[in-house]
Amino acid sequence: MSIERDHHGFDAPVPLGHPARASLPDGQPTGPEVGETLPDFELPDAHGNLVRYHESRGGAKSVVVFYRSAVW
């Protein structure tokens, strides 16, 4: 695969314009805003156990990271 540098100066092992390189467009909303409560959800962890987000925090502060993939 070709290595190409994008306009931010970043290199990635796929050509420019490839869907794997699709970044946030200008003005695109990015979900809940500061001041809003994060919507609750239930998802399985690495061992298949269901985790309910707000309950799992146990009243603590939290950091929720959305990541693209653990595979590629």
Partner 1 sequence: MTEFSAKQNIPFRLLSDLDSEVIRRYGILNDQVGREDAFLEGIPYPGVYVTDEEGVVIAKFFHDSYKERDSPEMLIDAALGRLLLSDDEPSASGGDEEVRISAVVHGGKGTIRQGIRRQLIVRFELGEGVHIYGEPVPEGMIPTSISVSAPPGLVLEDPIYPPTETLRIESMDMELPVWSGTVDIVLPFMAIGELASETRPLDMEHAEIEVGVRYQACDDNSCFPPKTEKLKLHVDLDVIDVPALSTHMGHGQREAEYNGMPHMFRLIRRKARKYPLGMLRLIFKTIRLEWAALRRLR
Q: Under the criterion CB under 8 A, does residue 27 sit at the interface with partner 1?
A: no
| Cα–Cα distance, 32 to 48 (Å, whole number) | 27
| Cα–Cα distance, 61 to 58 (Å, whole number) | 9
5: β partners: 11
Minimum separation from the CB atom of position 39 to partner 1 (A): 6
Task: Record the tokens describing residue 2, joined without a space.
Answer: 């070709």
Q: Under the criterion CB under 8 A, does residue 52 sit at the interface with partner 1?
A: no
What's CA 24's distance to the chain center, in Å? 11
Minimum separation from the CB atom of position 52 to partner 1 (A): 11
Q: Under the criterion CB under 8 A, does residue 51 sit at the interface with partner 1?
A: yes
Residues that bind partner 1 (CB under 8 A): 1-6, 8-26, 28-41, 43-47, 51, 54, 56-57, 59-72
